[in-house]
């Protein structure tokens, strides 16, 4: 079982324990009422006694289920501790003591009830509250454990139990003495004060122009991209989109290493503003296109001119970074392809020495782009498919009819990639893979999630059962003396309750906080930096650091053994722990976020800055 499935199982078990205690308590309460003669008229008393006995059995059975669930949770917690303390901290420090209290209070009383004592209504409900608090701490709070969470969990259970005692305690003597009331109120108040007091100051001083405009030579390639609302056709349907130059995707921008690109961005009528971010292209900070961090969003009628030197070859893409979740989804994106120096800028349609096809996959208003293309390729022609995933979720790609290599990932060539046959590849949100092969005499087809997007003749859908390529063991390794880390950061990804102003929201969090409250990561120029990225949540987080490619060191403790992997977008799946390293060689203030853009929008974005 993967750590991700243990995380899910653990939550299911915890919910089961809470529900069982609560149901046992409620059932016990009905037997207590009928024992007191409250609900049964006299003529149904016999009937009533039989019913009471069966409800008593039911309540005791439920309590037994709860105890078994708690024992099972001991096992899942131990497994999670072994996967990493991040996965288990709050289970050990908060849920554990609460579960233990539930057992100690309810257990002996249930045993006495079995032997003929009174139904332990309040004890069972107390156990239910304690176990409910344990679930809430995992689901709403997570890592790291805060003293506020401890106080609120324990205070909440105490308060609920006192109210229950007052309503359903064994008569007489339902009064609650003053001391526990005072303590509970104090504990809850202290917890609330800490929630407010511990909110970090806004993390990023959002200063503009912190980095001097780099001196860039005269442009050799000029483009203009005008953002505007547009009606585009996809799949035979008209779609209201946001488009660059009236088309989705926007025009592909092409260049050769050494070119100086000048891209003029204009906004015709996108009210919420637009920018251009060069995804995976490690441009100077001032050209990075993050509104509120490196520039202001370009509003309708305005323009912004980007200028940077093309010094990385490979497959990249551009997209708006203003209201990026909506903007990219609605169509504000396009491909950026840079050829190695010495090669000509290609017209995407030109053939010559080989075939190159750019395949930017996107979901536009429920329609899958690009539409299928049937192409021709003479046998022996070299083909390069530049695959770009511009969606917020992973896509599965499969090539049938030819052995292929993954020549490059995220724009960077792999070392000695081997030929692959009948193998699928998973590309994370934002990621790019270049597949290369020599066209055979028979048809070849590229499929995305089982849908053909490019082919050279009739092809059958490849089986879903194909193995998936693991990049960590693909290609040839190089002796790769790791630079000693000068600085290390841990990012624990999760969901949790976050105060957004005074509105609580269920945010996507990093280290227990959501944007803009996540502490920035401060590095110095020249340092080698290591990130440990831990996914405690139940969903995939495609991680993306701006301005730098990161070298993958390990996943779940297993060293990367294939070609060096320099990525800018990688999927951290539930329960996974990735270690990546990079050289701090591009000063500025950089976004570091989940590229499921809805997650980023709901808090999962922080900043790397040079101090
Ligand atoms: Cu393609 Cu900040 O993202
Ligand atoms: Cu995410």
Tell me the per-residue pLDDT of 441-455, one tens digit each, with 9 for 90 and over: 999 999 999 999 999
607 lines ligand 1 (CB under 6 A): no
30 and 124 both lie in a single domain: yes
Lowest-pLDDT choice from 141-150, 155-164, 208-217, 384-393: 208-217
71 and 135 both lie in a single domain: yes
Separation between Cα atoms, residue 246 and residue 108, nearest integer Å: 73
3-state secondary structure of 152: helix
460 and 502 both lie in a single domain: no
CATH code of the domain containing 384: 2.60.40.420
**pTM, to two decimals:** 0.93
Looking at 323, 345, 367, the residue that finishes a domain is 345
Q: In what order do the strands lie in the sheet with 314-319?
A: 253-256, 333-339, 314-319, 277-279
Residue 138 token pair: 């995992």
Top-confidence residue, 178 or 204: 178
Q: Is residue 521 part of a domain?
A: yes
415 and 515 both lie in a single domain: no
Residue 4 token pair: 């991700």
Separation between Cα atoms, residue 76 and residue 308, nearest integer Å: 51
Q: Is residue 208 part of a domain?
A: no
Q: Is residue 205 part of a domain?
A: no
Under a CB-based contact definition with an 8 Å cutoff, are residues 143 and 86 in contact? Answer: yes
For the segment 19-44, the average pLDDT, to the nearest whole number, is 76
Q: Is residue 206 part of a domain?
A: no
319 lines ligand 1 (CB under 6 A): yes
595 lines ligand 1 (CB under 6 A): yes
125 and 220 both lie in a single domain: no
Q: Per-residue pLDDT tens for 148-168?
A: 999 999 999 999 999 999 888
Q: Is residue 202 part of a domain?
A: no
Mean pLDDT, all residues of the chain: 91
Q: 101 pLDDT exceeds 60?
A: yes
174 and 233 both lie in a single domain: no
58 and 150 both lie in a single domain: yes
Distance, CA 572 to ligand 2 centroid (Å)?
9
592 and 562 both lie in a single domain: yes
**Confidence (pLDDT) at 569:** 97
354 and 336 both lie in a single domain: no
Q: 41 pLDDT exceeds 90?
A: no
172 and 220 both lie in a single domain: no
Q: 584 pLDDT exceeds 50?
A: yes
Q: What pLDDT band is residue 399 in, cutting at 50, 70 and 90?
A: very high
For the segment 232-249, the average pLDDT, to the nearest whole number, is 94
430 lines ligand 1 (CB under 6 A): yes
Q: 209 pLDDT exceeds 50?
A: no
277 lines ligand 1 (CB under 6 A): yes
Q: Is residue 475 part of a domain?
A: no
Top-confidence residue, 257 or 484: 257
**Confidence (pLDDT) at 86:** 97
Looking at 300, 328, 345, the residue that finishes a domain is 345
Q: Is residue 478 part of a domain?
A: no
495 lines ligand 1 (CB under 6 A): no
Instruction: Write the burial class of residue 298 (CB in 10 Å: 0-12 exposed, 13-18 middle, 19+ buried).
Output: buried
10 and 78 both lie in a single domain: yes
Under a CB-based contact definition with an 8 Å cutoff, are residues 491 and 534 in contact? Answer: yes
Looking at 345, 375, 398, the residue that finishes a domain is 345
Q: Give nearest CA residue, ligand 1 atom 1.
A: 279
133-to-158, 167, 173, 254 alpha-carbon distances in Å: 11, 21, 27, 56
593 lines ligand 1 (CB under 6 A): yes
34 and 173 both lie in a single domain: yes
For the segment 291-295, the average pLDDT, to the nearest whole number, is 95
Top-confidence residue, 522 or 34: 522
**Confidence (pLDDT) at 197:** 77
For the segment 391-414, the average pLDDT, to the nearest whole number, is 98
Ligand nearest to the CA of 279: 1
Ligand nearest to the CA of 388: 1
Q: Per-residue pLDDT tens for 535-560?
A: 999 999 999 999 999 999 999 999 99
Distance, CA 559 to ligand 1 centroid (Å)?
27
Ligand nearest to the CA of 494: 2
Distance, CA 592 to ligand 2 centroid (Å)?
12
Lowest-pLDDT choice from 27-31, 287-291, 388-392, 465-469: 27-31
Separation between Cα atoms, residue 448 and residue 424, nearest integer Å: 10
Q: 83 pLDDT exceeds 50?
A: yes
276 lines ligand 1 (CB under 6 A): no
Count structural domains, the chain.
4
What is the residue range of 545's domain?
A: 487-610
Top-confidence residue, 342 or 504: 504
Under a CB-based contact definition with an 8 Å cutoff, are residues 408 and 314 in contact? Answer: yes
Q: Is residue 133 part of a domain?
A: yes
Ligand nearest to the CA of 389: 1
Distance, CA 389 to ligand 1 centroid (Å)?
12
* DSSP category for residue 178: H
Q: 493 pLDDT exceeds 50?
A: yes
Q: 462 pLDDT exceeds 50?
A: yes
Distance, CA 392 to ligand 2 centroid (Å)?
9
């Amino acid at each position: 079982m993967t750590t991700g499935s243990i995380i899910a199982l653990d939550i299911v078990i915890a919910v089961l324990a809470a529900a069982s205690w609560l149901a046992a308590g409620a059932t016990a309460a009905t037997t207590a009422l009928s024992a007191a003669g409250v609900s049964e008229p006299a003529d149904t008393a016999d009937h009533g006694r039989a019913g009471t006995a069966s409800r008593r059995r039911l309540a005791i059975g439920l309590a037994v289920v709860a105890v078994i669930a708690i024992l099972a949770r001991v096992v899942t917690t131990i497994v999670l501790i072994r996967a990493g303390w991040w996965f288990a901290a709050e289970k050990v420090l908060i849920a554990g003591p609460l579960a233990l209290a539930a057992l100690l209070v309810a257990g002996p009383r249930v045993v006495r009830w079995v032997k003929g004592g009174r139904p332990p209504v309040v004890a069972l409900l107390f156990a239910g509250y304690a176990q409910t608090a344990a679930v809430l701490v995992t689901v709403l709070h997570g890592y790291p454990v805060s003293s506020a969470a401890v106080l609120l969990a324990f205070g909440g259970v105490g308060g609920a139990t006192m109210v229950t005692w007052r309503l359903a305690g064994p008569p007489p003597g339902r009064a609650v003495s003053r001391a526990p009331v005072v303590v509970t109120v104090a504990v809850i108040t202290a917890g609330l004060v800490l929630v407010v007091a511990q909110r970090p100051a806004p993390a990023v001083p959002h200063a503009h122009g912190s980095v001097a405009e780099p001196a860039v030579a005269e442009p050799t390639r000029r483009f203009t991209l005008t953002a505007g609302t547009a009606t585009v056709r996809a799949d035979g349907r008209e779609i209201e989109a946001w488009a660059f130059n009236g088309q989705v995707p926007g025009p592909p921008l092409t260049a050769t290493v050494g070119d100086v690109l000048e891209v003029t961005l204009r906004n015709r009528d996108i009210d919420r503003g637009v920018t251009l971010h060069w995804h995976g292209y490690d441009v100077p900070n001032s050209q990075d296109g993050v509104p509120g961090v490196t520039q202001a969003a370009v509003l309708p009628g305005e323009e912004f001119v980007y200028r940077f030197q093309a010094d990385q070859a490979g497959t990249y893409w551009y997209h708006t970074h203003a209201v990026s979740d909506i903007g990219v989804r609605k169509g504000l994106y396009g491909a950026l392809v840079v050829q190695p120096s010495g090669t000509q800028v290609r017209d995407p349609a030109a053939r010559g020495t080989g075939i190159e096809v750019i395949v930017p996959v996107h979901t536009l208003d429920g329609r899958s782009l690009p539409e299928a293309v049937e192409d021709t390729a003479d046998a022996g022609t070299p083909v390069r498919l530049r695959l770009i995933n511009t969606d917020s979720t992973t896509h599965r790609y499969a090539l049938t009819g030819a052995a292929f290599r993954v020549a490059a990932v995220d724009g960077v060539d792999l070392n000695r990639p081997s030929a692959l046959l009948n193998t699928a590849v998973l590309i994370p949100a934002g990621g790019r893979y270049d597949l290369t092969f020599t066209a055979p005499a028979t048809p070849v087809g590229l499929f995305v999630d089982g849908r053909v997007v490019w082919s050279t003749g009739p092809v059958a859908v490849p089986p879903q059962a194909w193995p998936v390529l693991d990049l960590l063991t693909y290609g040839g390794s190089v002796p790769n003396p790791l630079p000693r880390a000068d600085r290390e950061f841990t990012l624990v990804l999760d969901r949790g309750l976050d105060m957004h102003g005074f509105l609580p929201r269920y945010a996507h969090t990093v280290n227990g906080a959501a944007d803009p409250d996540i502490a920035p990561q401060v590095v110095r120029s020249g340092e080698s930096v290591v990130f440990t990225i831990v996914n405690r949540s139940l969903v995939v987080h495609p991680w993306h650091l701006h301005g730098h490619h990161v070298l993958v060191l390990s996943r779940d403790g297993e060293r990367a053994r294939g070609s060096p992997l320099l990525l800018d977008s990688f999927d951290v799946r539930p329960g996974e722990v990735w270690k990546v390293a990079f050289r701090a060689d591009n000063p500025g203030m950089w976004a570091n976020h989940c590229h499921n853009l809805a997650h980023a929008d709901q808090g999962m974005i922080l900043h790397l800055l040079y101090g």
